[in-house]
Amino acid sequence: MTIRVGIIGATGYTGAELVRILSRHPEVELVALTTKSYIGKPYWEVYPHLYKYNRMTGEKMDLPYLLEACDAIFIALPHGHSMAVALEAAGRGVKLIDLGADFRLADYRVYEQWYRVAHVARELLPAAVYGLPELYRESIKDAWLVANPGCYPTSAILALAPLLEKKLIDPGTVIIDSKSGVSGAGRGLSLGSHFSEVNENFKAYNIAGHRHTPEIEQELGKILGEEIRVSFTPHLLPVTRGILSTVYAKLSSPVEQDELLELYSDFYREELFVRVMPRGMLPQIKWVAGTNHCDLGLVTDPRTGRVIIVSAIDNVVKGASGQAVQNMNLLFGLPEDTALAGPGLYP
């Protein structure tokens, strides 16, 4: 099998990570890397770490050509830019994996409220499958339009899914405290991600208003079977890669820590990319750097009746491009870990 792949928005960080992963994918032929900023420029000149791994040139997006030449298209663009592509692709037999937010929220009104953009492809929302393989694997296999999850939601949903499915926590007490590396802000220049602003600094941002909040609530609500409201606070770490989420919730009744660890181990037993840490070990972002893993650890606090779950991912891999390739593998019936297997770098 050869899967002909195009990447729209190939010169952002998620696009570059897609190229890095797909350059070693045995079943993929990259046929187009589109860009606005580097048209006509050799891709390796934009990202020299890919010198001799990719000999392509950045090109202007030609959607009719992409729809004819590709079996799968990754859309690595900010929100608001994927809807037009999906409308053109519908019914053409091409698989779309959207790394933006345009198809993550099932209710277009919620999307428009949080993203301040009119949703012009509402009719396609029922066809979109939320691309978290650990929860929606079978639906992803049959989809043509996959909404790749956000980075923060990936870490939070995987942290809470076993507890909510078993209704072991009070859903009204969930607090998600997340920290991300600077690459999550993208490659564009901005004061907030300037070295002098980030280095030796640590700050919260978008408190009670981050756009990933409704996505987290939507997916947790599906697991729980009812609406849920969470407190979600993101922070910016002075590191390049990684997300660490510390999640707090009140237990519905006392449960021993070992029982919960066994629950998590059973829930994720067949999952290639979720590692449940043994008692006494809590995840660190360095352990998952460069990998498609989500590491989970937990502690119970009998004094307060709470459970604390720690979740770590690489925001550019499991939080974006690695998960997108995992979804592509599912779409084409390949082993899920193709081009994604293996440990990360340490130290």
Q: How far apart are CA 121 and CA 269, in angstroms?
A: 37
Distances in Å between the Cα of 59 and the Cα atoms of 30, 38, 64, 72, 154 are 13, 7, 14, 17, 31
Choosing from 140, 151, 158, 160, which is the catalytic residue?
151
Q: How far apart are CA 340 and CA 19, in angstroms?
A: 13
E strand residue ranges, the chain? 3-8, 28-34, 72-75, 95-98, 128-130, 145-147, 175-180, 203-204, 231-236, 243-250, 274-276, 294-301, 306-313
What order do you get walking across the sheet with 306-313 strand by strand? 203-204, 231-236, 175-180, 243-250, 306-313, 294-301, 274-276
Does residue 151 have an active-site annotation? yes
Amino acid at 99: L
Contacting residues for 275 by C-beta, under 8 A, at least 6 apart: 293, 294, 295, 296
Length of the chain: 347
* Whether 133 contacts 224, CB under 8 Å: no
Amino acid at 225: G
Q: Where are the alpha helices (DSSP H) in the chain?
A: 13-22, 43-46, 63-69, 83-89, 108-115, 133-141, 151-165, 195-198, 213-224, 257-267, 285-288, 322-331
DSSP 318: I
Contacting residues for 91 by C-beta, under 8 A, at least 6 apart: none
Short-list 307, 280, 327, 2, CA closest to 144: 327
Return the active site residues: 151
